[in-house]
Structure 1
Amino acid sequence: MPNQLWMAAPLVAFDLEGTGGQDRENEAILEVGVVPLAGGRPDVDRAYHSIVNPGRRIPRRPWSPPGLTSDMLALGPTLDHILPELMARLNGAYIVGHNVTVDWRLLSLRCPGIRPAALIDTLKLARLIRSGSRRNSLTALLTHYQLTDEVFHLAVGGQPHRALWDAVGAGLLLRTLVEKLFGQTITVDKLRQVAGVPINGEAMGDESGQLPLLF
Structure 2
Amino acid sequence: MHNQPWTAARLVAFDLEGTGSQDREDEAILEVGAVPLPGGRPDVQGAYDSIVNPGRHIPRRPWSPPGLTNDVLASAPSLEHITPELTALLDGAYIVGHNVHVDWRLLSLRCPGIRPAALIDTLKLARRVHEGKRSLTALLDRYQLTDEVTKLVGGQPHRALWDAAGAGLLLGKLLGDLPGGGALTVAGLRDVAGSPLGDDGEHPVPLF
Q: TM-score, normalised by structure 2?
A: 0.94
Structure 1 Cα separation of the partners of residues 202 and 94 of structure 2: 16
Partner of 1:175: 172
Partner amino acid, structure 2, of 1:67: G
* Matched position secondary structure for 2:49: strand
Q: Which runs of 5+ in 2 are unaligned?
A: 204-208
Q: Deviations over 1:73-131 (max 9, x none)?
A: 1111100000011111101000000000100000001011110000000001100011x
* Matched position secondary structure for 1:184: helix
Selected match of 1:197 from 195, 198, 204 = 195
Q: Deviations over 1:132-164 (max 9, x none)?
A: 31x1000000001111010011012x1000000
Shift of 1:24: 0.4
Selected match of 2:145 from 147, 155, 179 = 147
Structure 1 Cα separation of the partners of residues 169 and 192 of structure 2: 18
Which consecutive aligned stretches of 4+ in structure 1 deviate over 2 angstroms post-superposition? 201-204
Structure 2 Cα separation of the partners of residues 55 and 121 of structure 1: 30
Report the structure, 1 or 2, having the larger helix content: 2
Partner of 2:206: none
- Note if 1:74 corresponds to 2:74: yes
Partner amino acid, structure 1, of 2:144: Q
Shift of 1:202: 2.5
Q: Deviations over 1:42-66 (max 9, x none)?
A: 1111000000000011111000000
Partner amino acid, structure 2, of 1:125: L
* Matched position secondary structure for 1:92: coil
* Matched position secondary structure for 2:92: coil
Q: TM-score, normalised by structure 1?
A: 0.91
* Matched position secondary structure for 2:50: strand
The percentage of counterpart residues that share the same residue type is: 72
Partner of 2:86: 86
Structure 1 Cα separation of the partners of residues 76 and 202 of structure 2: 38
Give the alignment's Cα RMSD to 1 decimal: 1.1
Shift of 1:203: 5.0
Return closer, same or farther for 1:115/1:203 CA change in 2, 3 Å cut-off.
closer
Q: Which runs of 5+ in 1 are unaligned?
A: 205-215
Aligned residues: 201
* Matched position secondary structure for 2:24: helix
* Matched position secondary structure for 2:36: strand
Partner amino acid, structure 2, of 1:202: G
